[in-house]
């Protein structure tokens, strides 16, 4: 089994998928009308999605930095 297959389903989300779901969570929270329990669950889901997005962005930044370093080393 590959590492990707062992990863939690959330860890396999693309940046775009995580960002779109996060936007949906924010819309639902802003709209109101949910119970406290549902609001807390949405908040927790949003936090998890934000972490996934940040990991993607950090990875992209690391790749850009590495490419820049390679071009200056040449």
pLDDT one-digit tens code per residue, 6-62:
446 777 899 999 999 999 999 999 999 999 999 999 999 999 999 999 999 999 999
Domain of 21, in residue numbers:
16-73
In a domain, 5, yes or no: no
In a domain, 6, yes or no: no
| Residue 71: per-residue pLDDT | 85
Higher pLDDT, residue 62 or 4: 62
In a domain, 62, yes or no: yes
| Residue 42: per-residue pLDDT | 97
**Residue 8 φ/ψ, nearest 5 degrees:** -60, 150
Number of domains in the chain: 1
Q: Look up residue 42 and give its two tokens.
A: 């949405």
Query: Is residue 4 pLDDT above 60, yes or no?
Result: no
Q: Look up residue 9 and give its two tokens.
A: 């389903």
Q: Give me the CATH number covering residue 49.
A: 1.10.287
Place of tokens 């993607």: 56
| Residue 60: per-residue pLDDT | 97
pTM, rounded to two decimals: 0.79
- How distant is the alpha carbon of residue 44 from its chain centre? 13
**Coil vs helix vs strand at 33:** coil
In a domain, 4, yes or no: no
**Alpha carbons 16 and 47: distance in angstroms, whole number:** 16
């Amino acid at each position: 089994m590959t590492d990707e297959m062992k990863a939690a389903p959330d860890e396999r989300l693309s940046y775009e998928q995580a960002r779109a779901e996060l936007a949906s969570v924010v819309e639902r929270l802003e709209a109101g009308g949910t119970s406290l329990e549902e609001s807390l669950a949405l908040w927790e889901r949003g936090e998890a999605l934000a972490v996934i997005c940040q990991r993607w962005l950090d990875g992209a930044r690391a790749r850009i930095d590495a490419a820049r370093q390679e071009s200056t080393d040449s």
